[in-house]
Chain A
Amino acid sequence: MSAKSHGFPWNLLVGYILSIVLTLLAVFIAFNTDFSNNIIIWVIGILALFQAIIQLFMFMHVTEGKEGIINVINMVNSLILALIIIFGSIWVLTSGHASMH
């Protein structure tokens, strides 16, 4: 691992360029296409997730060290929690009488 660090930091550069490109792509999709709002949200959401993965693997070295596998499990677990909290709350609070203030 250290051996890699000695050379030019290609993975950093690639990650950086990718994140800029993905950001611009998201802006383009949001403003310059005629997809339905729903599709736009899903697509730019997935692009954001891609960026997060890039940061995790290329910048944060999530798999590095003895505990690499544990870090990955931790991140996947946190993602599941995030989805439960976000989709769960939206579902509970915007369906049924709860939504008719």
Chain B
Amino acid sequence: MTSHTTTPLEYNTEQSQMNILGFWVFLGAEIVLFSTLFASYFVLEHNTADGPAGQDIFILKDVLIETFILLTSSFTSGLAIHSMRNHDKKGLLIWMIVTLLLGAGFLYMEINEFIHYVHEGATIQTSGFTAAFFTLLGTHGAHVTFGIIWISLLLVQVYRRGITEKTSSKLFISSLYWHFLDVVWIFIFTFVYLKGMVM
């Protein structure tokens, strides 16, 4: 590859262009999926039955830390792709590993947060509100978990094969996924936590 080419390596083959496009289409489906979860949450959020409501249990500080961790991980995965486009394998690996560590930190905090809620008497079976809350958050968390495992496997491939047409398009796609999860979190932060604590 010379530096004269105008499009990055991951767009080199027809197949990788299709993979990237296909992933965007998939993200469209994911937007619908999360919208449905949000819609259900908004419908059920005041149905707390005998259980606690959002403002009784949410802790701003913890949620803010989770948010900053995820925002930062989105930034570092951007840096990883930036390194990849400069054919800097080491940079790619390092920034992606940082991203995954941040992802793991986020998960750790989220699990602790859930444990805290359970102690406060809010389990997934408590009320319409908790069902919708835990399912929305849980779906996001499951995505993050999946992303960590998936990207780890991709990093093994990069480590073995280097930055090639195939590995680069896989990594680029995984970064789209990661950014997307960050976007979903921003909406969770805004419409679940902030809204829940204000209203």
Contact = CB atoms under 8 A, between A and B. Distances in A.
Contacts, number: 152
B104 interface: no
Given A1-B6, A2-B7, A52-B186, A74 B71 contact: no
Interface residues of A, number: 52
A81 B6 contact: no
B64 interface: yes
Contact of B198 (A2, A31, A55): A31
A86 B35 contact: yes
Contacts of A19: 71, 74, 186
B11 A45 contact: no
A96 interface: no
Contacts of B85: 2, 5-6
Given A2-B85, A94-B43, A15 B198 contact: no
Chain B interface size, as a band, is 35 or more
B25 A74 contact: yes
Contact of A2 (B6, B21, B60): B6
B82 interface: yes
B52 to A, nearest CB: 20
Interface in A87-101: 88-90, 93-94
Contact of B39 (A27, A70, A85): A85
Given A5-B85, A12-B78, A59-B179, A44 B194 contact: yes
A82 B198 CA distance: 24
Given A89-B39, A89-B43, 9 more contacts: A6-B86, A20-B71, A23-B71, A27-B60, A59-B75, A64-B8, A71-B21, A82-B35, A90-B42
Interface of B: 3, 5-8, 11, 17, 20-21, 24-25, 27-28, 31-32, 35-36, 38-40, 42-43, 60, 64, 67-68, 71-72, 74-75, 78-79, 82, 85-86, 175-176, 179-180, 182-183, 186-187, 189-191, 194-195, 197-199
